[in-house]
Amino acid sequence: MNAHDGGRQQLDAASVLNARTTLVQLLARAGVYSGDAEELIGLVEAGALALARQEVEALGREAPQEKGEPYGSGWLDGARSLADGLDRIAEEALRRAVAAGVPDRSADDRPPVGRMELERAKVAVLPLYLSFTDVSDLDPEATDQVLKALLATLTSRQRAGYPGRLTDFATTHRPRLERLYEEYGPGSAIAIHGRYSLVHSPTSIAVLERLADDPAPLRDEWDAAELPPAWLDGLTTAWERSGTGG
């Protein structure tokens, strides 16, 4: 880190590499495979670049008006050029992140679901689920099986951005989801065991998103994983009925 005469502090390349290596080593001591750690760090880096792009775009609309129109036009062109450059760098960072530990993996491939992808999905679904209802005692092993089936329908790139997709889905369909969980979820008259069992699981948010967006691949992976067909049928029925308010 360089800081001269109380000026701005910026991380130099050696300091950034040191922090990254330290984090990988600390995660390794906690049992996290280095490839998984590199993937997580890479996703954070790609995300930081994408957010920086958004900030540059916003700055491009804030040209000092007192400088005149030619200055403002140049300001906007410069901001757009910088944003485009950040966009390309962020894209490359994302490609590296999803290939971490698996050099021949493409961001557009649908490889077997990795442990870190599964853990990221768990972290994504739980808070969304808790915004609608309570945690149930559905078998944790079933949670893993369901998430693996639905993640298998996505490319590596889509898996990286899946938490955002789930958040958008929950926000867009909140009233409908509230009706669904009130009628079929924990605390309702519907028992946890039966065709509506999956409504009692945090994974239901993710399954509902897939059913609404692209159900055919999900059904294929569901059958391949030998998951109970009644779970998927029950969730489909609950989703359809919640759409009509009854």
> Across-strand partners of 2?
10
pLDDT, mean of residues 235-245: 87
| pLDDT tens column, 166-208 | 999 999 999 999 999 999 988 888 877 788 989 988 999 999 9
241 class by beta-carbon count within 10 Å (0-12 exposed, 13-18 middle, 19+ buried): middle
pLDDT, mean of residues 107-111: 71
Report in angstroms the alpha-carbon separations of 95 from 35, 47, 50.
14, 12, 13
68 and 136 in contact (C-beta within 8 Å)?
A: no
166 and 121 in contact (C-beta within 8 Å)?
A: no
Among residues of the chain, what percentage have pLDDT more than 70? 91
Count of Cβ atoms closer than 10 Å to residue 131 Cβ: 14
| pLDDT tens column, 36-80 | 888 888 888 888 888 888 888 888 788 787 878 888 888 888 888
pLDDT, mean of residues 139-157: 89
pLDDT, mean of residues 136-161: 86
Average pLDDT, the chain: 85
pTM across the whole model? 0.72
At residue 73, the pLDDT reads 84
Q: Can you spell out the DSSP letters for 67-92?
A: G-HHHHHHHHHHHHHHHHHHHHHHHH
pLDDT, mean of residues 106-122: 81
At residue 246, the pLDDT reads 45
* Amino acid (1-letter code) at residue 83: A
CA 203 to CA 227: how far, in whole Å? Answer: 13
Check whether 222 has a pLDDT greater than 50: yes
163 and 220 in contact (C-beta within 8 Å)?
A: no
Encode 18-29: b = buried (16+ Cβ within 10 Å), e = exposed: eeeeebbeebee
